Amino acid sequence: MKYSKLIIILCFIKSFEGTCLQSGAEPNLADLNVYGILTAIEGSDAFQDLMNNTKIQPWFARMKNLVEPHRIDTSIMTILECIGCTLIVYGIPFSMFVFTIAHHPFRIIIAMTSAFFWLISMLLSSLLRFMVVPLRNQLAFAVLCAVLFQEIFRYLFYRVIKKAEFSLQKVQLQELTAKGMTFDRFAVAYAAGYGFGFISGTFSIVNVLSDTTGPGTIGIFGHSQDFFIATAFLTLTIILLNTFWSIIFFTSLDKGGIHRHLGPALVVITHMLFSCLTLLNRTTKPTYSIPIVNAFYNTSKMSSAAQRKKIAIVGSGNWGSTIAIHIADKIADLKDEYEQKILMWCKEETLDDGSKLTEVINEQHENIKYLPHERIPDNVIALPDLCESVKDADILIFVIPHQFVKKTCEELKNKVKPSAFALTLIKGFYIDEETNNILLVSQVIKNTLNIPCLSMMGANIAREVAEKVFCEATVGSRDDKHSETVRQLIDGPFFRIRVYPDVEIIEILGGLKNVIAMCAGFADGLNAGFNTRAAVLRLGFREMVNFCRLVEKESTAEIYLESCGIADLIASSLGGRNYNGAKKLAETNKSLKEIEKEDLNGQSLQGPGTAKEVYRFLQGRNLLDQFPMFRDAYLICEQKIKPHCLLENLTNHPEFQRK
């Protein structure tokens, strides 16, 4: 006790030497420091001994007269500065929580769990430092120990998340989606980093603000008035950096090759550098340059991870499932550019055994109804919620029957990212009721969702594409940037694409070929000869070209020889869905609805809808007689004439009247 008393008196006398008030000048920071010490020990034996000093006693009396009238004011100033520093630290993080985490239960859970992990890592690092007696007084060792422990726990938390992701794929994802609990790797990394940063920042700011609870004003214990506000900004930087670090750390570990190790190494090094500020700063002024450079670099790295494009597939039939498989394989080598998870909208269906189609796809990784025996990659997730499927997507790929496009787009209106673009693989079009002009599917998507839309048509039988049998396609685009993205996602050794600016012709051909493929099916169903079948294809293709030139007089012959033209017609007329449906109609007395349900496994025929639109277009222009195959295809679908009438009318086709 005597030693403690002696130490207090000696420290006080040393501090008292720097005061100014005893010489008649205005009190300085040293005066305030000394006065703070005396008021803190007032009533103790040490205080009584100091008051016996002839210099100290009058000085204390004068200081008391100066300070006590302002004690309330200075206390209020202290409280206000504490509040101000706290707002600096938690203002931005609180906004981040409200706008990006609070409405997502799953992110809240991740943030809370990561905060718990971070708390354990900090406690263990402190415990280890205390246990290692010979080294615990070395600040460099303490920093190394703390950083390594924290980064080890960051990695352990990543492993826990990976286990959770695997388990989540085994449960009913649509129920999780309905509760806002979709598993987004980037969002998980963000929430985890936020939790880490929050706890780390709390430790930092509490340690600093605890110094403001003493008597008097800020600085009473020797800190400069800049110390607290500088620490507040540095603590804010700690929170943000931990958020960025986790995003870089987690997303890097999801990559392959050398990138898997570079990200974590970068995080450890920058974390170490930031934590060594105390060692590097030998001045009494705050060191701003290191955290600023550190934050800028990590923000740029985090931004590159955040800019990875997300892909959504709207449709899950045989073609939708096939393109999902193909794109999932393509982006596996493009992890820096594309989010690996692909959401695929699947209109919920109950299968014969009572199971849900989305559950089967997600659990068995196979679309057993529309594309059986073809494995769908684990990173393709089927969702029954349309809006949730396209949420935050940068690229929307539409693969649904054209008769459902308008309704689907209306549901998505104002729910798609403004910066996104779409790609339609839908073969069909509409006729505007007011103008009787053609309205393309891409135009419907563009006008309704207010985003650009490209189109891709070609000879692409879904099953063969899924089996990686060579094929080609034609992309219609006038935007080089978007067409390059499509090329990156689709073009490959067994699936080649060519890009043309003839958007309208490419898309119209994709719809018209379904009608002529039905005509080929009618001919085969009636057991027509090969000569007749060849004539059906030739005359049908001629009608397709003539129809396109009604719409686009400037079209070139080259586009008709691409995959979207003659190749697509041939493929569809040899075994496509519309060919098979028309053949069955000619062979039996079934209706189209019965054929779709019983023979096509519930898949919709696109030909009848397009035939109806074409008929309206030609009828409005009194051109039906110049396109007898389009006319008869519609009338057969409406059961107004029999399929054999189509073949009978070929002999008087307008092509034979040309001179």
Burial of 65 (0-12, 13-18, 19+ CB in 10 A): exposed
CB 400 within 8 A of CB 408: yes
Can you give the length of the chain in residues? 659
What is the rounded CA–CA span in Å between residue 564 and residue 112? 53
What is the rounded CA–CA span in Å between residue 503 and residue 551? 12
What CA dihedral angle connects 436, 437, 438 and 441, to 10 degrees?
A: -80
What is the rounded CA–CA span in Å between residue 9 and residue 2? 11
Residues 6+ apart with CB under 8 A from 541: 516, 560, 565, 566, 569
The CA distances from residue 190 to 1, 200, 352, 580, in Å, are 52, 15, 41, 50
What is the rounded CA–CA span in Å between residue 627 and residue 614? 10
What is the rounded CA–CA span in Å between residue 439 and residue 507? 10
| 642 carries an active-site annotation | no
What is the rounded CA–CA span in Å between residue 164 and residue 307? 25
Q: How many other C-beta atoms lie within 10 A of the C-beta of residue 114? A: 29
Residues 6+ apart with CB under 8 A from 156: 117
Q: How many other C-beta atoms lie within 10 A of the C-beta of residue 107? A: 23
Q: Which of 335, 341, 391, 513 is catalytic?
A: 513
Strands 471-476, 495-500: pairing is parallel
3-state secondary structure 131-195: HCHHHCCCHHHHHHHHHHHHHHHHHHHHHHHHHHHHHHCCCCHHHHHHCCCCCCHHHHHHHHHHH
Strand partners, 473: 497
CB 568 within 8 A of CB 540: no
What is the rounded CA–CA span in Å between residue 383 and residue 366? 14
Handedness of CA 594, 595, 597, 603 (dihedral sign): negative
What CA dihedral angle connects 641, 645, 649 and 650, to 10 degrees?
A: 130
In this structure, what token pair is assigned to residue 420?
Answer: 């996104």
Residues 6+ apart with CB under 8 A from 355: none
| Tokens 């001919």 sit on residue | 523
DSSP-assigned letter for residue 212: G
Q: How many other C-beta atoms lie within 10 A of the C-beta of residue 435? A: 9
**117: nearest Cα among 69, 149, 165:** 149
What CA dihedral angle connects 398, 399, 402 and 404, to 10 degrees?
A: -80
CB 247 within 8 A of CB 193: yes
Strands 453-457, 471-476: pairing is antiparallel
Active centre residues (catalytic):
513
